[in-house]
């Protein structure tokens, strides 16, 4: 995520209208209403362990937290089969090394009272030791701090004192401020994500905003959040934006679905570092409040999207002991990038393999703006991999293609089968810069209803972000307990003491954010939310409140009735249990403003044969251990109704669609290209 | 059209259908007489789609239960499972979760069929049945089954059943697995396949009963409602599936799924195991002498021998035999033959039938010889005997079975499939919670077990529990909402380990401080009965895991310690020197603590055990040992004395480094010492034979052998033959 990429993307986009953005930026940007960032860079930093060096202060006795994890993290995200098969279970690489995790004595209890005083000398020692280790940030997560932050606040004060004494300064992040949600391990994971990956990302976002504003853009830069909303990059809980890239695609599929009427979709997004899979069921994305990313739990409200590290930037190496071909988990990123970028990296990547196989065109990368050095890529694969094993470099390249496709295929299988779903009920859409290049491989053998990609696959996540309303979402803890048979006065009191002030506070926050972003608050569609459950239940339901305030007992009854209506729809009437009373421990609020969205046009179908102008020529492509003569097509010239037989390569400026031998592609009237 | 007599297919009674099914199986050796599962073969994609629809329904149903439930067992650690059954009560498919119950849920249904519920009780669309009596079927009374018939028009075409482990069953002593009950009436509330609802409504009288009888009635009722909601959802899904595929297809394909799985299981056994006889033995202790029981004869400590023998037949059948098992006793640890099948199911799905197609067919190639009448696992003559907590010996028995399977896999070359389980757990409590409600409570918190080493790598730290493949310890912040305790440690315990070239996973002990309770009684631990005499689960030279310790710790002056900011107990360390380290009193409360009053500020410790290591510990790579030392997972003492690795701490680099020369010397010396200790087998045999002849053993051990010999001539014969004992000599 750097400024050059974004600027280049804008230039590319305006080229379609024959506008030289470089020259016209000063005229164009002052008229732009909103620029929304959506990307996966922050998450990639976490997945590849390249973020800031974070030290953790946790509860004394909890220092092994990243070694033993939640036991669930040894199998979560697995397919049904591997969940059952114990010997496949294993721990993740610790998010933070054990020596950088320090425990301090002290305890807040479930009543939010101090049960054990904070041992400040232990805090002081912990901070000293972490600073000695050279940490770049300190993350503090103590149990029940979301109920009472006093110990975390004191830890922060002590840390500041120690740093002042030492003449050092690193940021200190508190879970009570950034992620005040129950369950200690997902909360700590989320805090580490924020400290190690999101905050460094914010610095880059400010850089982008500054560049844009320097060219006349008048508003703050915005970012898509994991729950599908859009907000200002100054938003304190920026970790919610770490998954905005894949979410954008999901929102785009939802918008496509609304136009086309295909209810069930598997959305697959492959980029340089990660591969994301999400579901649209009956037209709606699935919302989670505790999310699993790369086999770890995070407390982030998000649209369902399962991610693994698998992308074209991943390094290809030979394990020196086992002599196994290893793909990833580390990635070359955009800088220095693959060997063929010629920017200093000498370790081959997946993309280098695609290049020497002839699937990628060295003269068409980013529309020809970046010339790829094929010879250098071939030399690196030969010397670092093929010669080590005594094999042909093309054997290595194709092996890597198969390995990464297999990894992604198993991931799709896990996402579907872990929920008991069958591919036969779903269509799959492939997007992201690298999706079309690999889609034939990663869907092979999975009996989807249909497999499709689009000409604008590389920009599809951006399309999705453009297709969403401006929306902010806010959450807050509260304690509402209405016992069975409570009288009207009690219901009113609970509403006026515990619900109304909470909603008012959230509205004030929303209004301030809207004003800061230059949005008309008076046009905002504000929706109050309560998370309601029966007494003794462990889980609640998100209930859009039918009233904006509780001004009478009847208003509370209406809220409860809305809960029970929803509850019965989800769980059946027999599961109602009103005799246990009702509880609300969390409030929410969404504020939305409609925004202009792209219009999809249904086009007339033309003949099967692509026009002559679409054929760019022929190229040798290595596949199934032999060289084939593949026809090369220009994506921009393919018309609705055209069909292309494999082996073929369809080139667009930002993506390459590979059709293997025996497969066929057909563009439909919505410009979707179906692979059969 | 003939007049309908029964509710089954073509007007048959379901008992007739069940009997016919059994006859066909006996005649053909194939489930339901299906010698050719043609439907699944002719159109495999359709078959795949059909199966995935059923699975999707079960998994979604399970999520429904989790969301509705009030229990942290269900929401946090998913102690539940759903299954779908044929009209005859045979399992077709099941959700993830505690898959112990594949057969047990069906056994409840078959009990109803055998007891002629169809005519004498009535089985109608919209009925809810409930069961938790292990004598009928089940592991223990805490596992409560909710069973729902599925009708298509007026024909019963199947059943759906959900099982949830409850936190409160109203037993005489605290907890969900009580330990001070010896007669059935003290096990807690029992339901013998009773109807608790009709027309999709729960009976109000049932709700009244629960509200009156159970301290945690809300949670129990919410669990029922969650289970029933899931059952209804699955029932409606099945009707939709039938609507799509047709009734004939449904009936045939569900049975073909069972037959296909039976065949798959035979192939797996052939592929992965070497035929032969594999044997292990588990000694199970039942310390009852100090338990406050009213039936005085129960107040005695006993040990029972449980031999387990697995024959892998050349035909790829498996036969499990417990010949030589000791007698039942006046304690709650008696099992039933059905409970034994629970163990068979859960091990099978985690080691052989894990490909997502597991059902009754996975169990058909396995024969479990019925344990002898009056044995610990078949106390059929004593109608009033407690059977609430058979997990204690069964966890060990099936941990041993994983060990035997691991050997069989290893011998065939499937080294990566080799591992084993061992389990134990902590305290249970009863009394007033922090909200002032009296209820049973569990102090196990988020402590968890270490499974054994794998054949190619270390075991997963804190990541294995025989009872469920979905091991999870939940969240401390959630557990503490339910129990008046504060967890003070989640540190992995180095001394829980099973040493080896590959070590076991380490366990996280339970270390909790009692907090904000007016009055509490702590008592019996749930879990294993073998911590006094540890069964040898070490493989190929690996050691068994550590011993469990249950300790009650009472600070002399906790407020003063906190005032002076003195250290509290956050690490267990070696239990042997805990008394020297702890500023207060340390009570070793034994394997199964007797009910003990506990107070605010008291600390309950339970060091869970890990399973066995694999391979000789002195062949473990020294670099792995120093890596463990860097993370505090291996102590310097263990490195030096067990692994024979000399390491020193580099203050500058802040990590342990191997002294390679000293390590080589240490390992060589250990090998020499071993050789000097060794004696010829003959010599060893003679020495131990003499001890036997002299009855030179603890009285409880002697009685253990006597008990096995009373039940089994074959065991007696083999024992005497091995030790060359005269025929007329009895122990």
Predicted ipTM?
0.93
Q: How far is A115 from chain B (nearest CA, A)?
A: 8
CA atoms of B712 and B706, how far apart (whole Å): 10
Give which of A437, A70, A138, A516 is closest to A275, Cα–Cα.
Answer: A437
Q: Which token pair is B57?
A: 């329904």
User: pLDDT by residue (tens digit) across B665-682?
Assistant: 999 999 999 999 999 999
Question: Listing from the earlier edge strand, what are the strands of the sheet with B143-152?
Answer: B91-94, B80-85, B155-165, B143-152, B128-131, B194-198, B201-202
Complete DSSP assignment for A587-636: EEEEEEE----PPP-------SSPPGGGEEEEEEEEETTEEEEEEEEEGG
Could you tell me if A62 lies within 8 Å of chain B, comparing CB atoms?
yes
- What is the mean pLDDT of the segment spanning B517-528? 74
CA atoms of A208 and A210, how far apart (whole Å): 5
- What is the mean pLDDT of the segment spanning B268-279? 95
Residues paired with residue A327 on neighbouring β-strands, in sequence order: A316
pLDDT tier for residue B45 given thresholds of 50, 70 and 90: low
Give which of B108, B632, B443, B719 is closest to A62, Cα–Cα.
Answer: B632
Could you tell me if A13 lies within 8 Å of chain B, comparing CB atoms?
no
Residue B243 has pLDDT above 70, yes or no: yes
CB contact under 8 A, A577 and B448: no
Q: Which token pair is A99?
A: 């020596």
CA atoms of A554 and A358, how far apart (whole Å): 70
CB contact under 8 A, B469 and A84: yes
What is the end-to-end Cα distance of chain A in Å, rounded? 35
CB contact under 8 A, B70 and A537: yes
Residue B628 has pLDDT above 60, yes or no: yes
Q: B448: number of CA atoms within 13 Å, CB side?
A: 26
Catalogue the E-assigned strands of B516-570: 520-523, 549-555
What is the end-to-end Cα distance of chain B in Å, rounded? 69
Q: How far is B218 from chain A (nearest CA, A)?
A: 7
- β-pairing, A643-645 with A664-667? antiparallel
Sequence-distant (≥ 6) Cβ neighbours of residue B266 within 8 angstroms: B316, B317, B365
CA distances from A514 to A213, A220, A241, A473 (A): 19, 11, 18, 12
Residue B689 has pLDDT above 60, yes or no: yes
Query: Looking up tokens 């055998």, which residue turns up?
Result: B114
- The conformational region for residue A344 under phi > 0 = left, psi -120 to 50 = alpha, else beta, is left
CA atoms of A297 and A69, how far apart (whole Å): 10
Mean pLDDT of the residues in chain B: 90
Catalogue the E-assigned strands of B11-127: 80-85, 91-94
Centre a 10 Å sphere on the Cβ of residue A538 and count the other Cβ atoms it contains: 22
> Which tops the pLDDT comparison, B148 or A305?
B148
Asked which of A213-227, A361-375, B420-434, B582-596 is least confident by mean pLDDT, the reply is B420-434
Q: How far is B407 from chain A (nearest CA, A)?
A: 15
Sequence-distant (≥ 6) Cβ neighbours of residue A522 within 8 angstroms: none
Complete DSSP assignment for A433-481: TTHHHHHHHHTTT---SEEEE-TTGGGHHHHHHHTS-EEEEEEEEEEEE
pLDDT tier for residue B266 given thresholds of 50, 70 and 90: very high
Mutate to test the interface with A, among B435, B448, B491, B626 (most CBs of A within 10 A): B491
In sign, the C-alpha dihedral spanning B478, B479, B480, B481 is: positive
CA atoms of A447 and A451, how far apart (whole Å): 9
Give which of B505, B536, B543 is closest to B619, Cα–Cα.
Answer: B543
Give which of A669, A676, A602 is closest to A642, Cα–Cα.
Answer: A669
What does the pLDDT read at residue B397?
A: 92
CB contact under 8 A, A61 and B511: yes
Residues paired with residue A107 on neighbouring β-strands, in sequence order: A116
Restricting to A residues 433-452, those with a Cβ less than 8 Å away from any Cβ of B are 447
CA distances from B171 to B189, B190, B193, B698 (A): 7, 10, 19, 33
What does the pLDDT read at residue B1?
A: 45
User: pLDDT by residue (tens digit) across B195-221?
Assistant: 999 999 999 999 999 999 998 888 899
Contacts of A89 in chain B (CB under 8 A): 460, 463-464, 471
Residue B113 has pLDDT above 50, yes or no: yes
Restricting to A residues 66-95, those with a Cβ less than 8 Å away from any Cβ of B are 67-68, 70-72, 74-75, 79-87, 89-91
CB contact under 8 A, B70 and A538: yes
Q: Strand, helix or coil at A209?
A: helix
Kind plus residue range of the DSSP H or E element containing B151: strand B143-152
**Could you tell me which chain A residue has the CA closest to the CA of B512?**
A61
pLDDT tier for residue B383 given thresholds of 50, 70 and 90: low
Asked which of B334-338, B469-473, B674-678 is least confident by mean pLDDT, the reply is B469-473
- What is the mean pLDDT of the segment spanning B616-636? 97
Q: Which token pair is A193?
A: 């994500």
CA atoms of B270 and B58, how far apart (whole Å): 30
In sign, the C-alpha dihedral spanning B573, B577, B582, B588 is: positive
CB contact under 8 A, B56 and A534: no
Would you say B367 and B579 are in contact if contact means Cβ atoms under 8 Å apart?
no
Residue B467 has pLDDT above 70, yes or no: yes
CB contact under 8 A, B356 and A417: yes
Please list, residue by residue across A407-429, b when 16 or more beta carbons sit within 10 angstroms of its beta carbon and e when fewer do: bbbbbbbbbbbbbbbbbbbbbbb
- β-pairing, B91-94 with B80-85? antiparallel
Query: Looking up tokens 């407390």, which residue turns up?
Result: A299
- What is the mean pLDDT of the segment spanning B296-314? 95
**Could you tell me which chain A residue has the CA closest to the CA of B449?**
A71
Restricting to A residues 112-141, those with a Cβ less than 8 Å away from any Cβ of B are 115-117, 119-121
Query: Looking up tokens 């009780």, which residue turns up?
Result: B121
Q: Which token pair is B593?
A: 């603590």
Number of H helices, E strands in chain B: 21, 22
Would you say A162 and A196 are in contact if contact means Cβ atoms under 8 Å apart?
no
CB contact under 8 A, B225 and A62: no
- Please, what is the Cα angle at B331 between B698 and B377, to 5 degrees? 90
Structural domains in chain A, CATH included, are 43-198 (3.40.50), 470-593 (no CATH), 612-675 (no CATH)
CA atoms of A26 and A48, how far apart (whole Å): 37
CA atoms of B408 and B417, how far apart (whole Å): 10
* Average pLDDT per block of 10 residues along chain A, 676 residues long: 70 83 90 79 76 96 95 83 88 94 96 95 98 97 92 98 97 91 91 92 88 89 83 83 78 83 86 86 71 86 79 85 69 85 93 95 85 95 91 92 85 71 87 93 91 90 81 79 92 94 92 82 93 83 92 97 83 79 88 79 93 94 95 94 95 92 94 94
Would you say B9 and B155 are in contact if contact means Cβ atoms under 8 Å apart?
yes
What does the pLDDT read at residue A291?
A: 83
Give which of A418, A123, A411 is closest to A269, Cα–Cα.
Answer: A411
Would you say B658 and B626 are in contact if contact means Cβ atoms under 8 Å apart?
yes
Q: How far is A276 from chain B (nearest CA, A)?
A: 22
Residues paired with residue B378 on neighbouring β-strands, in sequence order: B375
CA distances from A78 to A588, B58, B416 (A): 32, 17, 18
Kind plus residue range of the DSSP H or E element containing A431: strand A427-431
CA atoms of B164 and B230, how far apart (whole Å): 12
Residue B299 has pLDDT above 80, yes or no: yes
Contacts of B462 in chain A (CB under 8 A): 68, 71
Asked which of A310-324, B503-517, B619-633 is least confident by mean pLDDT, the reply is A310-324
Could you tell me if A477 lies within 8 Å of chain B, comparing CB atoms?
no
CA atoms of B256 and B92, how far apart (whole Å): 9
> For chain A, how many residues are written?
676
CA atoms of A396 and A255, how far apart (whole Å): 40
């Amino acid at each position: 995520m750097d400024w050059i990429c974004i600027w280049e993307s804008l230039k590319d986009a305006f080229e379609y209208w024959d506008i030289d953005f470089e020259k016209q930026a000063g005229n164009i940007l002052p008229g732009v209403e909103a620029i929304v960032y959506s990307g996966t860079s922050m998450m990639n930093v976490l997945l590849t362990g390249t973020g800031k060096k974070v030290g953790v202060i946790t509860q004394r006795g909890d220092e092994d937290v990243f070694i033993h994890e939640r036991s669930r993290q040894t199998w979560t995200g697995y397919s049904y089969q591997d969940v059952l098969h114990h010997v496949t279970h294993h721990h993740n690489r610790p998010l933070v090394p054990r020596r950088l995790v320090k425990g301090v004595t002290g305890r807040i209890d479930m009543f939010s009272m101090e049960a054990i005083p904070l041992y400040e000398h232990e805090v002081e020692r912990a901070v000293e030791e972490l600073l000695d280790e050279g940490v770049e940030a300190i993350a503090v997560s103590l149990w029940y701090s979301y109920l009472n932050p006093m110990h975390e606040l004191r830890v922060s004060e002590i840390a500041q004192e120690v740093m002042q004494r030492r003449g050092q300064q690193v940021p200190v992040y508190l879970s009570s401020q950034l992620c005040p949600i129950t369950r200690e391990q997902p909360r700590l994971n989320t805090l580490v994500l924020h400290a190690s990956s999101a905050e460094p990302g914010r610095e880059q976002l400010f850089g982008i905003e500054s560049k844009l504003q320097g060219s006349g853009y008048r508003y703050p830069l915005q970012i898509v959040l994991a729950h599908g909303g859009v907000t200002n990059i100054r938003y304190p809980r920026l970790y919610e934006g770490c998954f905005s890239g894949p979410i954008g695609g999901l929102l785009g599929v939802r918008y496509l679905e609304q136009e086309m009427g295909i209810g069930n979709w598997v959305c697959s997004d492959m980029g340089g570092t990660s591969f994301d899979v999400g579901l649209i069921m009956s037209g709606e994305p699935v919302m989670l409040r505790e999310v699993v990313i790369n086999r770890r739990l995070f407390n982030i409200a998000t649209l369902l999207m399962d991610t693994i590290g698998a992308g074209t930037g991943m390094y290809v190496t030979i394990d020196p002991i086992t002599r196994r071909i290893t793909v990833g988990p580390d990635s070359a990123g955009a800088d220095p990038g693959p060997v063929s970028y010629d920017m200093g990296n000498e370790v081959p990547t997946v993309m280098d393999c695609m290049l020497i196989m002839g699937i990628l065109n060295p003269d068409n990368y980013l529309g020809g703006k970046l010339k790829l050095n094929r010879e250098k890529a071939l030399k690196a694969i030969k010397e670092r991999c093929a010669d080590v094993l005594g094999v042909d470099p093309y054997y290595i390249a194709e092996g890597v293609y198969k390995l990464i496709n297999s990894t992604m295929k198993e991931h799709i299988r896990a996402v579907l089968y872990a929920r008991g779903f069958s591919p036969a009920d779903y269509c799959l859409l492939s997007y992201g810069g690298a999706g079309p290049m690999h889609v034939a491989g990663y869907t092979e053998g999975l009996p989807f209803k249909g497999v499709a990609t689009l000409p604008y696959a590389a920009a599809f996540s951006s399309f999705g972000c453009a297709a969403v309303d401006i929306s902010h979402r806010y959450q807050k803890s509260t304690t509402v307990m209405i016992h069975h048979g409570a009288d009207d006065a009690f219901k009113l009191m609970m509403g006026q003491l515990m619900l109304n002030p909470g909603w008012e506070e959230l509205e004030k926050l929303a209004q301030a954010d809207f004003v800061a972003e230059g949005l008309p608050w008076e046009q905002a569609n504000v929706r109050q939310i309560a998370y309601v459950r029966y007494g003794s239940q462990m889980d609640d339901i998100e209930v859009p409140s039918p009233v904006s305030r509780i001004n009478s007992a009847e208003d509370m009854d209406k809220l409860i009735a809305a809960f029970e209506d929803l509850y019965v729809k989800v769980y059946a009437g027999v599961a109602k249990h009103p005799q246990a009373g009702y509880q609300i421990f969390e409030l929410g609020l969404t504020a939305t403003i409609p925004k202009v969205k792209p219009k999809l046009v249904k086009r007339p179908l033309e003949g099967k044969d692509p026009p002559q102008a679409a054929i760019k020529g022929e190229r040798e492509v290595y596949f199934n251990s032999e060289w084939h003569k593949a026809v090369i097509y220009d994506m921009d010239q393919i018309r609705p109704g055209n069909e292309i037989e494999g082996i073929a390569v369809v080139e667009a400026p930002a993506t390459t669609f590979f059709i293997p031998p025996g497969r066929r592609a057909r563009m439909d009237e919505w410009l979707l290209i179906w692979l059969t | 059209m003939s007049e309908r007599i029964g509710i089954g297919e073509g007007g048959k009674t379901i008992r007739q259908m069940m009997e016919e099914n059994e006859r066909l199986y006996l005649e053909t050796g194939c489930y339901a007489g299906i010698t050719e599962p043609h439907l699944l073969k002719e159109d495999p994609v359709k078959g795949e789609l059909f199966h995935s629809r059923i699975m999707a329904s079960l998994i979604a149903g399970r999520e429904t239960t989790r969301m509705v439930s009030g229990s942290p067992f269900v929401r946090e650690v998913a102690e539940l499972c759903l299954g779908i059954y044929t009209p005859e009560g045979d399992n077709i498919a099941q959700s993830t979760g505690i898959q112990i119950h594949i057969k047990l849920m069906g056994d409840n249904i078959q009990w109803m069929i055998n007891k002629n519920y169809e005519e004498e009780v009535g089985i109608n669309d919209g009925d809810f049945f409930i069961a938790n009596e292990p004598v009928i079927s089940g592991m223990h009374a805490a596992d409560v089954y909710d069973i729902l018939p599925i009708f298509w028009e007026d024909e019963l075409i199947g059943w759906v059943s959900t099982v949830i482990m409850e936190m409160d069953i109203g037993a005489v002593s605290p907890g969900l697995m009580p330990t001070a009950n010896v007669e059935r009436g003290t096990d807690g509330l029992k339901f013998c396949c009773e109807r608790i609802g009709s027309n999709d409504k729960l009976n109000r009288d049932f709700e009244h009963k629960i509200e009156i009888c159970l301290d945690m009635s809300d949670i129990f009722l919410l669990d029922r409602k969650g289970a029933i909601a899931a059952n209804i959802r699955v029932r409606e899904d099945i009707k939709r599936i039938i609507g799509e595929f047709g009734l004939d297809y449904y009936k045939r394909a569900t049975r073909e799924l069972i037959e296909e799985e039976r065949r798959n299981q035979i192939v797996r056994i052939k592929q992965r195991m070497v035929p032969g006889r594999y044997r292990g033995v588990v000694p199970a202790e039942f310390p009852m002498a100090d338990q406050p029981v009213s039936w005085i004869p129960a107040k005695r400590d006993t040990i029972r021998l449980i031999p387990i023998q697995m024959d892998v037949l050349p035909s790829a059948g498996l036969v499990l035999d417990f010949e030589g098992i000791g007698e039942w006793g006046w304690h709650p640890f008696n099992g039933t033959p059905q409970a034994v099948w629970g163990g068979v199911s859960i091990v099978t799905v985690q080691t052989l039938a894990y490909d997502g197609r597991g059902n009754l067919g996975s169990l058909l190639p396995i024969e479990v010889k019925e344990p002898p009448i009056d044995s610990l696992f078949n106390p059929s003559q004593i109608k009033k005997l407690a059977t609430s907590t058979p997990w204690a010996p069964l966890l060990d028995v099936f941990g041993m079975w994983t060990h035997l399977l691991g050997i069989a896999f290893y011998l065939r070359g499937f080294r990566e499939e080799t591992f084993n389980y061992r389990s134990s757990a902590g305290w249970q409590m009863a009394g007033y919670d922090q909200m002032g409600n009296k209820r049973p409570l569990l102090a196990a918190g988020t402590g968890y077990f270490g499974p054994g080493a794998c054949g190619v790598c270390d075991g997963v730290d804190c990541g294995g529990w025989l009872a469920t493949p979905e091991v999870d310890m939940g969240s401390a912040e959630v557990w503490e909402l339910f129990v008046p305790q504060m967890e003070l440690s989640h540190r992995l315990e180095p001394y829980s380990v099973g040493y080896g070239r590959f070590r076991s996973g380490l366990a996280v002990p339970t270390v909790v401080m009692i907090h904000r309770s007016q009055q509490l009684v702590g008592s019996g631990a749930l879990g294993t009965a073998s911590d006094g005499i540890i069964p040898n689960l070490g493989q190929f030279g690996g050691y068994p895991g550590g011993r469990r310790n249950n300790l009650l710790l009472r600070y002399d002056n906790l407020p003063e310690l906190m005032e002076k900011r003195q250290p509290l107990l956050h690490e267990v360390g070696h239990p042997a020197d805990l008394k020297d380290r702890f500023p207060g009193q340390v009570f070793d409360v034994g394997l199964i603590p007797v009910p003990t009053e506990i107070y605010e500020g008291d600390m309950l410790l339970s060091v869970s055990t890990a399973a066995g290591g694999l391979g000789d510990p002195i062949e473990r790579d020294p670099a792995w040992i120093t890596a463990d030392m860097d993370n505090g997972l291996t102590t310097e003492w263990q490195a030096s004395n067990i692994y024979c690795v000399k390491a020193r701490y580099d203050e500058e680099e802040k990590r342990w480094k191997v002294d390679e020369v000293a390590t080589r010397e240490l390992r060589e010396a250990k090998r020499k010492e071993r050789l000097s200790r060794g004696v010829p087998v003959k010599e060893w045999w003679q020495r131990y034979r003499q001890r036997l002849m002299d009855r030179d053993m603890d009285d409880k051990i002697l009685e253990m052998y006597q008990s096995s010999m009373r039940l089994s001539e074959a065991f007696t014969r083999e024992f005497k033959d091995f030790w060359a004992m005269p025929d007329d000599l009895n122990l």
